[in-house]
Structure 1
Amino acid sequence: MVTVTVSSAGRTSLAKGLPITVDIPGKGVETATVADVKAEILKKFPKFSTSRQKLALKTDKRALADEKTLKEVGVVDGDEVTLKDLGPQIGWRTVFLIEYAGPLLIHPIFYYFPKLIYGGPVQHSRVSQYVYAMVMLHFLKRELESIFVHRFSNGTMPFTNVFKNSGHYWLFSGVFLAYSAYSPAYSSSSPYVRGTLRDDPNFLLGCVAVWLFAELSNFSTHLTLRGLRPAGTRKRGIPKGYGFSLVSCPNYFFELLGWAVIAVMTGSYAAYAFLAIAGYIQTVWAIKKHRNYKKEFGKDYPRRKVIFPFIF
């Protein structure tokens, strides 16, 4: 049996009475895991779900991974760990579904009800029709991937974060892009469209071809990442194969390529704004993942760029 003292790292209304001592019968520090400690805490405080619990060493604020043994994280028998309440949680899969649902709901409203938005009818041009199809197919793909493809290293996140995460998609790729792309400025009779590349079938079909390449490539990289993580684990391997020979995060690169196509095809300020915002966010994510890969795998991790082939 191993014994661990659990003290509070702050106000924890769901676990009044800390510090406490929990016992894990039948296991030692070599076999007892952080998840076992959380399970014992849950027994004492039934309303304090394990997803809300953040355990850390007394000398370190970093969260201890659930699947690690106590020995692996540096906890010995009789040692002390701190407990913090992360607040109400929501599943990552649910967050993704909510994020991508926004544009799927918003774009049809702007596309099919122009009188409600612009005060009059709009005869959609070919470029608007293509944008509508591309946006809807992209986010439908993302919803299906969230359900059937993605495996998440973290099961939950703070509930309040869903509003911040969703705002990026609902506002910029939802309201702003839809308002621009289906407006009278992009109607079939608009001088901004007629007689320009935006009215050229060859140009538009070329854009669709590049966009389709980006979407299928993005899907391929997601399948590769899924294959690296066995179901129910946080284990990671070195990603290899299509796209990964050039950059650490080709999934981000191909997604940005798809949005760049829409921006070039439309020339819309909203499309370029979303591309810039998404590019910044995903570059930050890619840098973090690239560093984590190098830290985790060391010399075994191959030399490659972060997100943009041959550039960065």
Structure 2
Amino acid sequence: MLKRQNPSTPEHSRDLAAHGGALSMSHNDSRSFLNLSQLVLSAGQIKPSPALKHSKITYFEVEIVDVESKKQICIVDKVSPASTLLDVKHKFHKACPQWYPSRVGLQLERNGPFLKDSISIQSLAVSSIVTLYFTDLGQQVGWTTFFLTEYTGPLLIYLLFYIRLSTIYGQVESRKNFRHPVVHNACYCSIISWVLHLAEFILIKLQFVLPYCPFKKIICLFQGCAFYWGFTSWIAYYINHPRYTPPSFGHKQVSYAALAFLMCEAGNHFINVALAHQTNSGSRSCFPSPTYNPFTWLFLLVSCPNYTYEAGSWISFTVMTQTLPVGIFAFLMVIQMSLWAQKKHKLYLKRFYPEVRRKAAMIPIIF
């Protein structure tokens, strides 16, 4: 016979408890899953966290090699793309203190030209390593000092004679106040000429030359100063002398010559501006062509019109003042500029033969 199990027995109670506990756990899991589902639905779609962006800067290594021995001198590392060649020279100077930046010449090729300090490293780089050839330029002197000394001297010297210092002309002669108008015109023309020379160097020519020149060329500075300063003193002494004799043909000679002087100075300035504009625009593969400016039309006849205008200005100054020192100075200047014009004309013939072969160097048709 089967025995009837008593519900009040301990075994039966344990079974009921286990069954009830399982039901309770199952019910709690269902409620937790339901609550989690409602939370996800109410929160919307879960968006992944944005990835952090890291900016990567590519640095260059500049290998500096001796141009003669081809041996590596040093490596300038961690050079940013925005760095210029001047920045590399400063870092090179820290590594090798015996070579300060002004005497360091760097070339991209052994026989290539020296690179300018303003060139960026990124423009030279083909890979992450840039190789530059080093040349010791020796002791240097700044071109700014070079030309400012050469051109500022005549300007100040002429003014010293113009005010008629008693130490130059004596007490009695310096007290004479009367001056012929040509004396004032000559002073104005001299100031215009030397100021234009300074302005053209600072605003135009300084952009196309290296900032320094070898110290051994200091002898050229002394020669230039002796030439310009000496002739300016001689010219100014005669023109500003109280006993100076005015030109033979009077006011007409002075006026026409002064007008010719101003036109030649203007032409010289506009030619230099045209040459500088051609270099800035990168169109150096063709001969300079005339523009809408009439002063540049001289390019049709000569290859070096700036020297033509420069010679014309000093010839005009000679006619205006009618003095022997000015005539000698103008003669020497014409000879010097003709030599420069011939040298540049030969270079133009090699580069732009079809365009230059029928042109003269400085004087139309003649020379």
Q: TM above 0.5, one fold?
A: yes
Structure 1 residues 304 and 37: CA distance shift in structure 2, 3 A: farther
SS at match of 2:200: helix
Structure 1 residues 126 and 96: CA distance shift in structure 2, 3 A: same
Query: Are residue 6 (structure 1) and residue 61 (structure 2) matched?
Result: no
Q: Which residue of 1 aligns with 2:96?
A: 45
Q: Which residue of 1 aligns with 2:261?
A: 211
Q: Which residue of 2 aligns with 1:99?
A: 150
Structure 1 residue 132, shift from structure 2 partner: 1.2
Scaled by the length of structure 2, the TM-score of the pair is 0.63
Structure 1 residue 206, shift from structure 2 partner: 1.1
Q: Distance in 1 between matches of 2:149 and 2:327?
A: 23
Query: Are residue 166 (structure 1) and residue 225 (structure 2) matched?
Result: yes
Equivalent positions of 1:139-178 (< 5 A) are 139-155=194-210, 156-159=212-215, 160=218, 161-172=220-231, 174-178=232-236
Q: Distance in 1 between matches of 2:339 and 2:136?
A: 27
Query: Are residue 251 (structure 1) and residue 306 (structure 2) matched?
Result: yes
Structure 1 residue 149, shift from structure 2 partner: 3.6
Identity, % of aligned positions? 25
Q: Distance in 2 between matches of 1:89 and 1:44?
A: 23
Partner amino acid for 1:118? Y
Q: Which runs of 5+ in 2 are unaligned?
A: 1-60, 79-84, 122-128, 291-295
Q: Distance in 2 between matches of 1:293 and 1:43?
A: 43
Q: Which residue of 2 aligns with 1:89?
A: 141
Structure 1 residue 168, shift from structure 2 partner: 2.6
Structure 1 residues 104 and 164: CA distance shift in structure 2, 3 A: same
Q: Which runs of 5+ in 1 are unaligned?
A: 10-17, 27-33, 70-76, 187-191
Q: Distance in 2 between matches of 1:246 and 1:102?
A: 35
Structure 1 residues 176 and 276: CA distance shift in structure 2, 3 A: same
SS at match of 1:89: strand
Structure 1 residue 288, shift from structure 2 partner: 2.2
Deviations 1:210-251 (A, max 9, x none): 1121111111111111211128x8967521211211112111
SS at match of 1:124: coil
Structure 1 residues 285 and 42: CA distance shift in structure 2, 3 A: farther
Query: Are residue 137 (structure 1) and residue 192 (structure 2) matched?
Result: yes
Cα contact 1:248–1:290 (8 A) shared by 2: yes
Q: Which residue of 1 aligns with 2:273?
A: 223
Equivalent positions of 1:73-84 (< 5 A) are 83-84=135-136
Deviations 1:240-291 (A, max 9, x none): 2112111121111111111111112223221112112222222222222222
Query: Are residue 286 (structure 1) and residue 286 (structure 2) matched?
Result: no
Q: Which residue of 2 aligns with 1:263?
A: 318
Q: Which residue of 2 aligns with 1:202?
A: 252
Partner amino acid for 2:351? E
Deviations 1:88-111 (A, max 9, x none): 2213x4433332211221111111
Q: Which residue of 2 aligns with 1:72?
A: none
Cα contact 1:7–1:20 (8 A) shared by 2: no
Q: Distance in 1 between matches of 2:311 and 2:188?
A: 17
In the alignment of these two chains, the number of paired residues is 280
Q: Which residue of 2 aligns with 1:65?
A: 114
Q: Distance in 2 between matches of 1:294 and 1:248?
A: 10
Q: Distance in 2 between matches of 1:47 and 1:235?
A: 37
Partner amino acid for 1:158? P
Scaled by the length of structure 1, the TM-score of the pair is 0.73
Q: Which residue of 2 aligns with 1:180?
A: 238
Cα contact 1:54–1:86 (8 A) shared by 2: no
Structure 1 residue 56, shift from structure 2 partner: 8.3
Q: Distance in 2 between matches of 1:81 and 1:150?
A: 26
Query: Are residue 239 (structure 1) and residue 239 (structure 2) matched?
Result: no
Deviations 1:154-192 (A, max 9, x none): 2232352433333332221x2111112112341xxxxx4
Structure 1 residue 38, shift from structure 2 partner: 6.7
Partner amino acid for 2:146? V
Structure 1 residue 134, shift from structure 2 partner: 0.9
Q: Distance in 2 between matches of 1:261 and 1:116?
A: 31
Partner amino acid for 2:246? V
